[in-house]
Homo-oligomer: A and B are copies of this chain.
Amino acid sequence: MDIRAVNDLSFEEFVNIFGNLVEKCPIVAATVWSERPFGSFTALEKAIHDFIDHLPQSGKEGLLRCHPDLAGRDLQRGTLTQESRVEQVAAGLDALGSEEASRMERLNDEYKQRFGFPFVICARMNDKATILHQMTERCQNEPALETLRGIEEVKKISSLRLHSIILVDTPRL
């Protein structure tokens, strides 16, 4: 799919394809559709990131709260979104030893208790070891800083999801 094909999509098709670039927040894609035509995929990516950056602090926290725990209940129960499942599996989070699993659960809880939103990291750019390390480190951050840190990860995730749609779809056209 090239950018001209993207610009020709109805809002329903667009939201259907790009609606989970930001986890469980189809409003992001549904909003940036207004900005068509996009000159390039980079312009589309920038529109997504701009929407996120312009959210007020509470909206940024809200966006983080739409994310699942890493190696949490949704992974165990099979209720993750397709995108999240692929990312968590790629980072090896479906194959934790029992000690790693309890450590991650403890850190997830500690993080949520401290910040009021879940720990978000771009799992595709990490593995279970770096994730556990980052969880420990970031638990020490100041809340305002950590919101922005989480939001940077959301933007990385959305960019990789966008690129994966483009890659997957290219051979079809």
Chain A residues engaging chain B, CB cutoff 8 angstroms = 10-12, 15, 24-35, 51, 54, 56, 58-59, 61-63, 65-66, 112, 116-117
Contact = CB atoms under 8 A, between A and B. Distances in A.
B28 A62 contact: yes
B11 A31 contact: no
Given A24-B26, A26-B24, A66-B26, A31 B58 contact: yes
A27 B59 CA distance: 7
Task: Specify how many copies of this chain sit in the oligomer.
Answer: 2
A15 B15 CA distance: 22
A63 B59 CA distance: 14
Q: Is the interface of A mostly helix, strand, loop or mixed?
A: helix
B34 A116 contact: yes
Given A25-B27, A31-B58, A65 B15 contact: yes
Contact of A30 (B26, B56, B66): B66
B27 A63 contact: yes
Contacts of A51: 59
A142 to B, nearest CB: 16
Nearest to A65: B30
A58 B28 CA distance: 10
A98 B62 CA distance: 43
Contacts of A10: 112
